[in-house]
Amino acid sequence: MNAPHFTARRSAVYLLDQILGEGRLMSDLIASGKLDRLEPADRARAQRLANDTLRGLDRADRLLNRQLRKAPALHVHNILRLGTVELCMGGDAHGVVHELVGLLGNDRRHAKLKGLVNAVLRKMAGDAGKPWNDLRLPRLPTWLREPLVAAWGANPVNMMEKVHFAGAPLDITIKVEPEGWAEKLGGALLSTGTIRLMDAGQVSALPGFETGDWWVQDAAAALPIQVLRPQPGEKILDLCAAPGGKTLQLAAAGANVTALDLSERRMQRVTENLKRTGLEATCVVGDALEHQGFYDAVLLDAPCSATGTIRRHPDLAYAKDGSDFGELIALQARMIDHALTLLKPGGRLVYCTCSLLPDEGECQVDEALARHDGLHTDADALNLPGVDPAWITEEGGLRLRPDYWAEQGGMDGFYIACLRR
């Protein structure tokens, strides 16, 4: 049994303090073991509570501003934010208020604010929280919203924000026979072959997880390998491979896969996923720009802003500010140039990013085509089941956005292009 101070709510507040106060990413916090003292179900709940709060932060602050003369210290503010979101989304008033007020009991700095927190949250459980559903949808931060509106228009961005606020269902890639597994898992089989679960609960408790029959992977993230069309026995390099979903797809297709990533810690996760699923690949820790060899195909899932994944990772909108875009775009160009040197004659390079910014997708490929004589995009590779022809771009890439399939839960923002000489 967990000690009282390691509850899901307390851990969720800690995550909020780190994300909103220190600019840390939730994935980094979890990977560093910050939730390891919780049982699996409580770990999942802590993440869900923190993500729900981040998605609803704008609404929570609007309601709290009506009750507070001034914003309290961040830790107290985050307790109020979490409580407001949970109460307005139907949480049990007694349980929410009692535990969150109790978090301040042994806090020397903030114990005197117990009365304030108790009073405000009780109001939120009553009339003060009723306007929740009437408030505007939370918007993306200005540093991201403005370039997205410039690229795609206000209405698509409004729809993206609606999808972000709703949260993401769980998408699963199956090794074999997705039709049968859709029925076993109680999910829907999407037109691109992914199984989607709208209310999955604890992932590790689902049938087939321990036996390695599937892995979690957003529907959009599964498409680059379908574009690559790996064949049994082909020698394929997966650059920047972690966390390994695409490596697993390549291995499941029978390819001879080399998975490379700069991070030893992240590569350990790839190794663990390969072991769980019973698939094989050669795992290498190293710099993609220094790797040598010749391959039938290369997948370059390049480091990027990750702006396409905010519907699953709402912390990105608060932990980032866009200041690293220029550096990332320059790195992507260097990686494309180097990846092309690793191809055998007639080989193919699939370049992709989980970004909504054209500078990391369409523009990046346009510039690569201009730099390399004889390089062209293979538009035929994009003719896949479930892919809307309207998603294919002028330069011959595939643009995916969260507002696509909005009524089915959306998808990650991705850009994918298959390049050949």
Helix axes 264-277, 245-252, angle to 10 degrees: 40
Omega of the bond leading into 243 within 30 degrees of 0 (cis): yes
Closest CA to 222 of 361, 387, 82: 387
Residue 25 has pLDDT above 90, yes or no: yes
Does 64 share its domain with 113? yes
Distance from first CA to last CA of the chain, Å, rounded? 60
Report the largest interatomic distance among the alpha carbons of the chain, rounded to a whole angstrom: 72
Contacts of 58 (CB under 8 A, 6+ apart): 135, 136, 138, 139
DSSP state for residue 290 in the 8-state scheme: T
Q: What is the pLDDT of residues 237-246, one digit of tens each?
A: 999 999 999 9
Does 380 share its domain with 238? yes
Closest CA to 279 of 287, 270, 288: 270
Residue 1 has pLDDT above 60, yes or no: no
Tell me if 340 is assigned to some domain: yes
pLDDT band at 45 (very low <50, low <70, confident <90, very high): very high
Q: What is the pLDDT of residues 335-364, one digit of tens each?
A: 999 999 999 999 999 999 999 999 999 999
Q: How many angstroms from the chain centroid is the CA of residue 258?
A: 24
Does 229 share its domain with 371? yes
Convert 276-314 to b/e letters by CB count within 10 Å (16 or more is b): ebebebebebeebeebeeebbbbbbbbbbbbbbbbbbbb
| Helices H / strands E in the chain, number of each | 16, 12
Residue 148 has pLDDT above 80, yes or no: yes
pLDDT of residue 17: 97
pTM for this entry: 0.92
Q: Region 82-94: what's the mean pLDDT?
A: 95
pLDDT band at 421 (very low <50, low <70, confident <90, very high): confident
Q: What is the pLDDT of residues 201-234, one digit of tens each?
A: 889 889 999 999 999 999 999 999 999 999 999 9
Domain end: 182, 199, 217, which one? 217
Q: What percent of the chain has pLDDT over 90?
A: 90
Asked if residues 209 and 228 have their Cβ atoms less than 8 Å apart, the reply is no
CATH number for the domain spanning 366: value is 3.40.50.150
Does 319 share its domain with 184? no
pLDDT band at 105 (very low <50, low <70, confident <90, very high): confident
DSSP state for residue 267 in the 8-state scheme: H
Does 122 share its domain with 184? no
Closest CA to 189 of 203, 209, 173, 205: 173
Joined tokens for residue 57: 């932060």
pLDDT of residue 22: 94
The active-site residue, picked from 352, 354, 363, 418, is 354
Task: Give just the sign of the alpha carbon dihedral 361, 243, 323, 402.
Answer: positive
CATH number for the domain spanning 38: value is 1.10.940.10
Residue 2 has pLDDT above 50, yes or no: no
Does 357 share its domain with 232? yes
Does 412 share its domain with 321? yes
pLDDT of residue 199: 85
Task: Report the distance separating Cα 281 and Cα 258, nearest Å.
Answer: 6
Domain end: 158, 188, 217, which one? 217
Does 204 share its domain with 243? no
Tell me if 198 is assigned to some domain: yes
Task: Report the distance separating Cα 60 and Cα 173, nearest Å.
Answer: 35
User: Which phi and psi angles does 203 have, rounded to 5°?
Assistant: -60, -45
Q: Region 400-420: what's the mean pLDDT?
A: 97
The Cβ of residue 57 has, within 10 Å, a number of other Cβ atoms equal to: 21
Joined tokens for residue 72: 């309290």
Task: Give just the sign of the alpha carbon dihedral 356, 359, 362, 365.
Answer: negative
Joined tokens for residue 134: 């009437």
Q: What is the pLDDT of residues 56-66, one digit of tens each?
A: 999 999 999 99
Domain end: 193, 217, 241, which one? 217
CATH number for the domain spanning 186: value is 3.30.70
Tell me if 141 is assigned to some domain: no
Tell me if 112 is assigned to some domain: yes
What's the domain range around 380? 219-420
Closest CA to 251 of 279, 270, 277: 279
pLDDT band at 416 (very low <50, low <70, confident <90, very high): very high
Q: What is the pLDDT of residues 360-408, one digit of tens each?
A: 999 999 999 999 999 999 999 999 999 999 999 999 999 999 999 999 9
Does 201 share its domain with 226? no
Q: What is the pLDDT of residues 149-203, one digit of tens each?
A: 999 999 999 999 999 999 999 999 999 888 889 999 999 999 999 999 998 888 9
pLDDT band at 4 (very low <50, low <70, confident <90, very high): very low
pLDDT of residue 108: 84
Does 207 share its domain with 226? no
Task: Report the distance separating Cα 181 and Cα 197, nearest Å.
Answer: 11
Is residue 352 annotated as part of the catalytic site, yes or no?
no
Residue 41 has pLDDT above 60, yes or no: yes
Q: Please report which residue ranges of 305-380 form alpha helices under DSSP H.
A: 316-319, 325-340, 362-371
Tell me if 378 is assigned to some domain: yes
Does 60 share its domain with 185? no
pLDDT of residue 15: 97
Residue 330 has pLDDT above 50, yes or no: yes
Tell me if 312 is assigned to some domain: yes
Tell me if 152 is assigned to some domain: no
pLDDT band at 320 (very low <50, low <70, confident <90, very high): confident
User: Within 13 Å and on the Cβ side, how many CA atoms surround 67?
Assistant: 24
pLDDT of residue 5: 65
Q: Region 261-283: what's the mean pLDDT?
A: 95
Instruction: State how many domains the chain has.
Output: 3
pLDDT of residue 98: 94
Closest CA to 336 of 354, 357, 353: 353
pLDDT of residue 182: 92
Asked if residues 2 and 38 have their Cβ atoms less than 8 Å apart, the reply is yes
Task: Report the distance separating Cα 214 and Cα 278, nearest Å.
Answer: 11
Task: Report the distance separating Cα 162 and Cα 143, nearest Å.
Answer: 18
Q: Region 324-338: what's the mean pLDDT?
A: 96
Does 108 share its domain with 175? no
Residue with token string 């507002």: 403
Task: Report the distance separating Cα 51 and Cα 189, nearest Å.
Answer: 26
Tell me if 322 is assigned to some domain: yes
